[in-house]
Structures are given as C-alpha cells and as structure tokens.
C-alpha cells in the first residue's frame, strides 16, 4: 500500500494498464502466423513499453523483466536472456564513464569550458554561442546531466550580470538571460549526439546492430554521422534562440569577460593530475579514431573500442595523481559513482531486443509493416525520426530507443531500406527532446533552476525539435551510405 501511495496517478494507471494488457495477450491465442513464443515475446514487449513510458516502476527495475520473465514464458533460457546485460558495448560506456569521472574529479572539464568561453569576447550573442559550444564539447565526453550541472551556474552568473532584477529588466535583457540558460540544456543534449559514448542511445544502437545484425559501428564510424549533426544543429539552435524565439539587442557585456577570466584564474595553473587525465583521455580518443588503422598493425588485430575504453579506465586507476596528491587519478570511491542504473537499463533494452529477434516476433512485425514497402527511404526515415523526437518528449530516451529498434529492424527488412538508414537516425532522434522539462535530464535541470519558464522552453523547443528532424534526416541521407 505504501508503494502505491508513492506513485503518481499516471504511474499507477501505467502499472495496471501494462499488467492488464500483458495478461490479456497471454490469454488470447496467437494470431495466424505467430508462434506461441513470438506472441509471448509481444506480451512482454508491450508490458515493458507501457511501464517504461509511464515509469510505473523505476526504469532500471522494468529492465529486469527479460531476465526474470523471459525464461518463465518460454521465450529464451536465462543464459540467452542475460546475454544483453553483458554486452561489450556496456563496458565501452563504462570506460567512458570512468574518463568522465576523472575529468570531473580534477576539474579538467571546467577548465576546458572556460578556455572555450574566454575566446568569445564580450558580445552578448557570442557569449551565448560560447556557452553552448563549451557545453556541447564537454558533453561529448561527460554525461549530459553532469555537464548541465557544471555549466548552469556559469550561465546563471552571466545572466545575473545583465539582469540583476528579472522583473524590472527590459525585454531584450530578459531574452538574453533566458537564451544563455536554455542554451546550456540544448547544447548538453546536442553535444551528446557526437560521439559513441556521448549518450547511451548512441551506444545502444551500435550494440543492437552488432548483436542482432552483425553490423559493427565503432567510435570512428559513429563520428561520420554524429559530428555533422552536432556541427549543424548547434549553431542553428543558437541562431533560433538569439534571433527568433528570444531575439535581443544589447550592448557588449564587458563585465562578462572579467567574470569568465576571474573564474578561469581561480582554477590556478593546470595541475599535474589534470595533465595526466588529459593525456589518458587524448590517448583514448586518438586510439578510438585510429582503431581501423591500428588493427592492421602486428599484435593489434584484437583491438576494439571496448578494449581501448577498458585500458583507459585501468590507466586511470594505475597512474598516480602526482603533484602532491595522494592516490591514483581514480580511486575506489569513484567506482561507486558510475551510473549503474543507466547501464542496467541499457542491458534490459538489448535483452528485450534479443528476445524479440530470437522468438521470431521481429519477422511478424516486419510482415505487418509491409504497407511501407513502397515508401522512399527519405520519407520513411523522416516519419521515423519525427515520431521518435516527439515520443521521447514524454518517455526516457534509452527506453524509447530500446522499444523502437527491433521494430525498425523489422521495418527495414520488409521495405528494403538499409537498416542503418532507420536505426542510427532513430538513436539520434531518441535524444532530441527539447520542448518539455521531462524530455531530457538537461531540460529538467534548467527548468528546475527557476530561470526558464515552461512557455519559453516549449516555444524554443518546438522549433529546435523540428530543426532536429530536418538535420537528422538530411545527415542520414548523406552520411549513412558511407557506413554501409
């Protein structure tokens, strides 16, 4: 009874609706063409989709269902169901988490951000762009949530310089204040699209493709798609904020340059631990980008992106911090700061995808989607991206990606559209919720600060959502063929 009281009305409804649909599907006989195993997998997928969408249970808890219910329903044995939780891509994300933790522990991420922002000068619009560029760059390597928490106080300080009294300020100054803070949320999300470890949906797509279809998308390959999305979407989002939704005309802010320089100087000279973390991070990034070439060298044929991530993580635990600091660059307590709930959600999504594929349900779904067989690839990609961008405004991005990817793989098989043309844009789209506070963690953090109103976020976010759909579809059309 206490558990029920802790849930919201939508969560309680989701709990019972999901359970009722699950029971109904198990009770009904399989439709023609469906095996009993595939029908049971459909019931489990519906249950997880409803519980994920409504957060009836904590999202990682719902992610345990393939392991708990898959064997009981006769869909797969426990070893098969558990394979997704041990995916090599999970360990790639884990290695990325350790690099991010090291950047945070020694404040290197903050130094990088100040270096970028100090080059903006005192122009108000350039300051917004600099804040967004710094946020996006850090977000490629550090979690979107941590990046937002780090950059929001900086943006808020810049806003306070221009708008000490929000109510008494002019419209132009209020618009600057809103744009610089809202820009942090949008840039944190956009930056995460760029690298394979930038946000979990990217790695989930790569793991799904490798586990179910034997297609390998490594760190270097992802850059061909992810970086163009960042390089196009970031400046266009900035332009929308400062020229369309929150247009402002204010003089240069000389005090902002002084503030940023003072914050940078407060960090002091670059410390020995910072230099060593930077060296490990740069070595890992270089190895990821150069891995296709490195694997051709004698003794390196077994090199993988996951192996590079694990070597980097081990280096962080082995290399002494130096500079008078005790211990290594990372220590035992840092291990407990890893977002294990996200990794478990990731594993649950892969496990569900494996059950859908192994049970034959994906083939049945593909047959149901035969209607789309005559559609051009660009049109089909546009519909998929549009649906997922607005779906993820209300649902977890990883849960959204995990729910849709098996369906998209089946759709690709039925329509003849290359699977990469649907799955990779879908992974990007699943992270592009810019309109509502619940769309992404950065949105929620910025809205929770009280510095951005819901109307401001919805007005700007709707346009950025539409912009994201256009950019992702265009980049997919051009870049995905290079990955095939």
> Contact at 8 Å (CB) between 253 and 113?
no
The H-or-E segment that residue 116 falls in is helix 108-117
Q: How many CB atoms lie within 10 A of CB 187?
A: 32
Which residues lie across from 322 on neighbouring strands?
Answer: 325
The C-alpha angle with vertex 219 and arms to 405 and 288, in degrees rounded to 5, equals 160
Backbone angle region of 327, left / alpha / beta, with phi > 0 → left and psi within -120 to 50 → alpha:
left
Mean pLDDT of 107-131: 81
C-alpha 420/C-alpha 201 separation (Å) is 14
Phi, psi angle pair for 321, to nearest 5°: -65, -40
Top mean-pLDDT range of 87-91, 104-108, 135-139, 337-341: 135-139
Mean pLDDT of 233-261: 86
What is the pLDDT confidence band of residue 167, given thresholds at 50, 70 and 90?
Answer: low
Non-local (6+) Cβ contacts of 167 within 8 A are: none
Residue 343, SS3? helix
> Contact at 8 Å (CB) between 345 and 398?
yes
- DSSP of 333-399: HHHTTS-HHHHHHHHHHHHHHHHHHHTTHHHHHHHHTGGGGGS-HHHHHHHHHHHHHHHTTTS-HHH
Mean pLDDT of 110-138: 83
pLDDT of the residue at 318: 94
Task: Decide if pLDDT at 295 tops 80.
Answer: yes
Tokens 């819901």 correspond to 454
Mean pLDDT of 87-101: 82
pLDDT of the residue at 4: 46
Question: Is 5 or 279 the better-scoring residue by pLDDT?
Answer: 279
Mean pLDDT of 22-36: 91
Question: What are the CA-CA distances from residue 135 to residues 354, 389, 401, 468 (Å)?
Answer: 35, 21, 24, 18
- How long, in residues, is the chain? 484
Tokens 């990682």 correspond to 60
What is the pLDDT confidence band of residue 341, given thresholds at 50, 70 and 90?
Answer: confident
Task: Decide if pLDDT at 25 tops 80.
Answer: yes
What share of the chain in percent tops pLDDT 90? Answer: 26
Mean pLDDT of 418-429: 91
Backbone angle region of 326, left / alpha / beta, with phi > 0 → left and psi within -120 to 50 → alpha:
beta
């Amino acid at each position: 009874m206490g558990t029920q009281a802790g849930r919201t009305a939508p969560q309680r409804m989701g709990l019972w609706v999901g359970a009722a649909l699950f029971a109904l599907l198990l009770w009904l006989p399989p439709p023609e063409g469906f095996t009993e195993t595939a029908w049971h997998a459909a019931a489990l997928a519906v249950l997880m989709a409803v519980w994920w969408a409504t957060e009836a249970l904590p999202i990682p808890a719902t992610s345990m269902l393939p392991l708990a219910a898959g064997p009981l329903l006769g869909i797969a044995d426990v070893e098969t169901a558990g394979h997704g939780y041990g995916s090599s891509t999970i360990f790639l994300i884990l290695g990325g988490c350790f690099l991010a933790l090291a950047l945070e522990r020694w404040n290197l991420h903050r130094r990088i951000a100040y270096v970028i922002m100090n080059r903006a000068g005192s122009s108000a619009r350039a300051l917004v762009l600099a804040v967004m560029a710094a946020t996006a760059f850090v977000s490629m390597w550090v979690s979107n949530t941590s990046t937002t928490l780090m950059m929001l106080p900086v943006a808020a300080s810049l806003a306070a310089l221009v708008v000490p009294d929000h109510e008494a300020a002019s419209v132009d100054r209020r618009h600057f204040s809103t744009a610089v803070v809202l820009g942090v949320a949008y840039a944190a999300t956009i930056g995460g699209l760029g690298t394979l470890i930038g946000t979990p949906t990217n790695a989930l797509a790569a793991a799904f493709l490798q586990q179910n279809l034997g297609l390998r998308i490594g760190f270097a390959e992802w850059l061909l798609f992810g970086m163009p999305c960042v390089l196009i979407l970031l400046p266009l989002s900035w332009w929308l904020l400062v020229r369309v939704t929150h247009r402002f005309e204010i003089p240069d802010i000389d005090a902002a340059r002084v503030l940023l320089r003072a914050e940078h100087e407060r960090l002091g000279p670059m410390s020995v631990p910072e230099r060593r973390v930077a060296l490990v991070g740069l070595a890992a990034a270089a190895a990821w980008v150069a891995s296709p070439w490195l694997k051709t060298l004698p003794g390196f044929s077994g090199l993988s992106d996951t192996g590079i991530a694990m070597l980097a993580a081990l280096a962080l635990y082995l290399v002494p911090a130096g500079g008078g600091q005790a211990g290594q660059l990372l220590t035992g307590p840092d291990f407990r700061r890893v977002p294990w709930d996200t990794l478990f959600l990731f594993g649950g999504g892969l496990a569900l995808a494996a059950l859908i594929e192994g049970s034959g349900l994906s083939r049945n779904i593909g047959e149901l989607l035969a209607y789309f067989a005559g559609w051009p690839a660009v049109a089909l990609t546009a519909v998929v991206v549009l649906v997922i961008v607005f779906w993820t405004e209300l649902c977890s991005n990883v849960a959204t990606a995990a729910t849709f990817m098996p369906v998209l793989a089946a759709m690709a098989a039925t329509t003849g559209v290359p699977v990469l043309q649907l799955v990779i844009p879908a992974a990007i789209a699943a992270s592009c919720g810019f309109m509502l506070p619940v769309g992404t963690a950065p949105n929620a953090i910025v809205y929770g600060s009280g510095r951005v109103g819901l109307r401001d976020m919805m007005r700007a976010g709707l346009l950025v959502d539409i912009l994201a759909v256009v950019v992702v579809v265009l980049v997919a059309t051009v870049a995905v063929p290079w990955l095939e």
